[in-house]
Amino acid sequence: MLSLHQLACFLATYEHGSLTAAAEELGYSQPSVSEQIRALERRLDVQLFRRVGRGVVPTTAGDTLRPYAEKVLSTVQETERAVAGIRSLETGTIRFGMFGTARLYASAGLVADVLARYPGVRVELIGQNSNDVFDQLRRGRLEAAMIAVAGVDSEGMAVTPVARDELVYVSADRDRLSSPVTAHRLARASLVMAETTWRATDSARTVLRRMVHETGHNPQTRIEVEDVETAVELVGLGLADSVINKGAAEQLLPRLAPGAGWVSLRPRQYDTIAIVHRANATLSPAARLMIELATKRIQAIAEPA
């Protein structure tokens, strides 16, 4: 099999017309370069150079080989640069998991943060719900992620809480916002809730169930939807109230339900937001970058853990 070392010796000899000059350029001994050329000739079963005086000139076979050897070595160099670029975060694709609601007040800023540092990279933010993201982590499709962890089994995972986002009661009826909402009031409320596909394991719903269960009741929903934007629009229409993350409320109410407002629960309830990856994993520079930037972004909006 041809070796890169043989091709490098061939091209240096071809360029300089001298085994001695080729050896000086490459930092090898002249006999070593001669042996690499002979090995290449044996492998190809052709003569690549003829001796002329103190130098060498390429044969027809040598002239034929030259552009192919240059292409091979150029491809290798490009490959090395590509890998080095990924290692230094200059190029390549960065993938990071993030739960759905965070896209409303962190995802765009996070992408902007990454591209401000490394404009040559491609960014993929993956996930709709924390449980969906966690499943991709477990399957090895993601290296690291930021998710809400109340309803997630963390076995085999390193979980580092970085912030907590308050859950607030939103309503278009200002009378219902005159005081914090207790578990008893919440148990009787007519609610629209998002994340219906993950209703059994969604982090926010898990927190609310724990709160309402203390009264001997289960939280009831009048309307189930997938996305928090639709839930907020329905609140704005006065068809139901809801409980959503405070960050989402601050982003969405002015735009989708300007007549609605929010109030805290009593006692206050929180979604815990954490960085999650496989336990004892050695994280890549890209993963460490995303963890750093995502943590800064979410802590600027939610209360640091």
Domain with residue 68: its CATH number is 1.10.10.10
Confidence at residue 24, expressed as pLDDT on a 0 to 100 scale: 94
CATH number of domain containing 154: 3.40.190.290
Same domain, 100 and 48: no
150 in Cβ contact with 207 (< 8 Å): yes
Q: DSSP per residue over 262-281, as a string?
A: EEEEEEEEEEEEEEEEETT-
Same domain, 100 and 204: yes
Same domain, 28 and 162: no
Listed as ranges, residues in the chain with pLDDT below 70 are 85, 151-154
Confidence at residue 92, expressed as pLDDT on a 0 to 100 scale: 83
Which residue's structure tokens are 């409980």?
A: 243
Confidence at residue 104, expressed as pLDDT on a 0 to 100 scale: 82
Alpha-carbon distance 219 to 86, whole Å? 48
Same domain, 143 and 115: yes
Which is it for the CA torsion 144, 147, 152, 154, positive or negative? Answer: positive
Q: What angle do CA 77, 82, 118 make, to 5 degrees?
A: 140
Same domain, 132 and 42: no
- Residue 288 lies in domain: 94-304
Alpha-carbon distance 111 to 122, whole Å? 10
242 in Cβ contact with 170 (< 8 Å): yes
Closest CA to 201 of 245, 145, 150: 150
Same domain, 148 and 189: yes
From 48, 68, 87, give the residue that closes a domain: 87
Alpha-carbon distance 137 to 243, whole Å? 28
From 70, 87, 104, give the residue that closes a domain: 87
From 35, 68, 87, give the residue that closes a domain: 87
Confidence at residue 195, expressed as pLDDT on a 0 to 100 scale: 94
Is cis: bond before 254, omega within 30 of 0? no
Alpha-carbon distance 101 to 268, whole Å? 19
Q: What is the pTM of this model?
A: 0.73
Q: How many domains does the chain have?
A: 2
Give residue 232's identity as a one-letter amino acid code: V
Confidence at residue 81, expressed as pLDDT on a 0 to 100 scale: 75
* Per-residue tokens: 28: 């090898």
Q: Per DSSP, what are the bridge partners of residue 201?
A: none
